[in-house]
Amino acid sequence: MYEAVAFYLFSVLTIGLFLITVMSKNVLYAMTSLAAGMILISGFFFILGADFLGVVQLIVYVGAIMALYSFAMMFFDATRDIKEKNTNPALVFLLGGLSALVLVLMFAAPIHSEAIQALYPMHEGVGNAQDVGIVLFTKYLVPFELAAVMLLVAMIAGIILAGKKMDQSLTEDMSADDEILIQKDEK
């Protein structure tokens, strides 16, 4: 009962928030609703019994990725509304709706599910974190180490790309600054 209530609440809220993310013209609104939607998605993981995944989602997505986005937004002009030239919005909605229909049909269709056997079954009476740890450090050790190297490469790449010419101001010769100056003059 509670699972059903939580599921429907989370799904309606997540879909609404992600619609705001996709439709909003303001970067700040889009980012905030994306962060809120990610928190609610970790709620899905907790319902599904994937506790460790839920915590990782909260720490990595909401904690790290959204913080990274908000730091990056300081480089861009976030207060101005984004003007986007949509050549054919009806076609986009048609394509999105069609792909939604195809995906729903694919998932709702009777799949070949009887043949699926659990490769690494979960154990009764063992916490999710222990189970995940044992499988991650035995069966998935090589992908885990590769992911670690990949994150290191990404970190170095991010530092080098973003840190280039860090001593120069980004907005020095931008028109946004001129607007602020004009506003000051008017006052």
- Residue 112 corresponds to which tokens in the numbers above? 């070949």
Please report how close the Cβ of residue 184 comes to other proteins at its closest, in angstroms. 22
Please report how close the Cβ of residue 187 comes to other proteins at its closest, in angstroms. 27
Please report how close the Cβ of residue 65 comes to other proteins at its closest, in angstroms. 5
How many angstroms separate the Cα of 36 from the Cα of each of 9, 16, 40, 48, 66? Answer: 14, 11, 6, 19, 10
Please report how close the Cβ of residue 161 comes to other proteins at its closest, in angstroms. 3
Angle between helices 27-47 and 2-23 (to 10 degrees): 160
Residue with smaller CB distance to other proteins, 167 or 186: 167
30 — alpha (psi -120 to 50), left (phi > 0) or beta?
A: alpha
Please report how close the Cβ of residue 186 comes to other proteins at its closest, in angstroms. 25
Residue with smaller CB distance to other proteins, 19 or 181: 19
CA distance 5 to 2: 5
CA distance 14 to 33: 9
Q: What three-state secondary structure class fits 166?
A: coil
How many angstroms separate the Cα of 93 from the Cα of each of 11, 14, 99, 125, 157? Answer: 21, 19, 10, 47, 36
